[in-house]
Structure 1
Amino acid sequence: MSNQVFPKRLYKYRAFNVGTLRLLSEAEAYYASPTAFNDPLDSSPTIQIDTDYQALEKLLYRMLSQSVGKEHAAREINNHRYMSTELGDYKVSSEAEAYYMRLLASNVKDLLYEEFGKRGVLSLAEKWNCPLMWSHYADEHRGLCVEYDLSETAFNDLRPVDYRRSRSIKVSDLIDWKLKQSSSAHQAVLETFFFTKAPQWRYERDPLCQDSCHSIKIGL
């Protein structure tokens, strides 16, 4: 849970359409898929390799085992080893080793995206009177802005967007989370995946309310 104090009211800029009418009439808040943002780089961090290939293999094996089973996991890693031979022996050649690690990291990234892609994100703004937000998210000023009163509502995963944090997830953090069950590493991965944004978008300053479901019922 974040210790940051948020405003008692947050806002959602919307175009006037059927979805918005349903939001108002049914008291719903839509949690969008991370793949549906207007910025394709949102919730799309890179993977930073900061371990040796043995540790990366163990990480991928654990993630694949949880996803498709141990037998398939072993076959997939053996396939990556075979593919890396295009450049030589990854145990001898630094070029082949680097290529092999990129193959492993790419597979890790796909599995992470698959896991987190099942979650939903609700993006809210701190102010209702931002002209750029009206232009970008409220049908070029023709829409509306919905106010959410949070004074009596608790969101455990409500956090501000971080425009300064690195948008790379470290392999070492994934290892600490997946292999060592570190809650702090898990939190670091979550925050990088869901709450970091390129600095060029700093003008928005949106808190993101992230949850594991695609929609949530709240009182308006």
Structure 2
Amino acid sequence: MRVYHFVNKEYGIQDLQKRRLKIARLHELNDPFELFGVEFSNEDIRSAFHKMKTELTKKRGLICFSKSWHNPVQWSHYADKHQGLCFGFDIPDHHLGEVNYSRKRLVIDAERLKNPGNITFSFAKRFLFTKYSHWSYENEVRGFISLDKETEEKGLYFLDFSDSLKLKEVIVGSESDITRQEISDSLSGYNINVNCFKARLAFKSFRVVRQRKESLWL
């Protein structure tokens, strides 16, 4: 599956140079309802899910992608107001899960939470892939990654580019001052063909599209 990851200039250039993406932790995400898409009127359910989130944050992180790079809102929110970058990756489908967007909180039977053994990652996956419907413009897919010493650096966690995270596109934001040379230098020695190009705002729609005039990207 071809998926897209938005990032600002500073971290985007670092990602290219070091061939990796940062793994986000559950408590770092910008949606406070992450894992909390459940109806919480029952105190036992509230308590169980807060504990579950705490435990999952210690063991797993995630990387979020979109199935499209054309939405200007995502460029504004996640790529520093169109000044950053968007990476296109080819990732095996079985490593990703599509987010389900819902207008209503999910209902769960509190009895299932009485046994702590029921609170497993497989049990939590339904809730980890559910978000409020107003986020649907992101068209999100996400991958969950186990946190271990191999992915850790100074308290942060990263996932290296690989056959399961294969960089195929680098898209430079329409308002970005990132040059061709900067991208070329950052990709120096990378032995996979990467399609690099500049974006622009569409003339007839509210979309971000490819800049076809190569001379306008220095």
The aligned counterpart of 1:132 is 73
Task: Give the Å deviation of 1:27.
Answer: 1.1
Task: Give the Å deviation of 1:157.
Answer: 4.2
Task: Give the Å deviation of 1:110.
Answer: 2.7
The aligned counterpart of 1:218 is 161
Whole-Å separation in 2 of the counterparts to 1:40 and 1:169: 18
Classify the secondary structure of the residue corresponding to 1:124: strand
Task: Give the Å deviation of 1:42.
Answer: 2.3
Task: Give the Å deviation of 1:106.
Answer: 3.9
Deviations 1:36-93 (A, max 9, x none): 11222223334657xxxxxxxxxxxxxxxxxxxxxxxxxxxxxxxxxxxxxxxxxxxx
Q: TM-score, normalised by structure 2?
A: 0.60
Q: What letter corresponds to residue 127 of structure 1 in structure 2?
A: S
Higher helix share: 1
Q: Is the 8 A contact 1:174 1:189 kept in 2?
A: no
Rate the CA distance shift 1:216–1:173 in 2: closer, same or farther, 3 A: farther
Task: Give the Å deviation of 1:35.
Answer: 1.2
Classify the secondary structure of the residue corresponding to 1:202: helix
Rate the CA distance shift 1:30–1:173 in 2: closer, same or farther, 3 A: farther
The aligned counterpart of 2:122 is 187
Classify the secondary structure of the residue corresponding to 1:191: helix
Task: Give the Å deviation of 1:135.
Answer: 1.2
Identical amino acids, percent of aligned pairs: 25
Aligned residues: 152
Name which structure has the greater RCO, CA cutoff 8 Å, separation 6+: 1
What are structure 1's unaligned runs of at least 5 residues? Answer: 1-7, 50-100
The aligned counterpart of 2:138 is 204
What are structure 2's unaligned runs of at least 5 residues? Answer: 148-156, 168-218
**CA radius of gyration, larger in:** 1
Classify the secondary structure of the residue corresponding to 1:146: strand
| Coordinate RMSD, CA, aligned | 2.7
Higher strand share: 2
Q: TM-score, normalised by structure 1?
A: 0.59
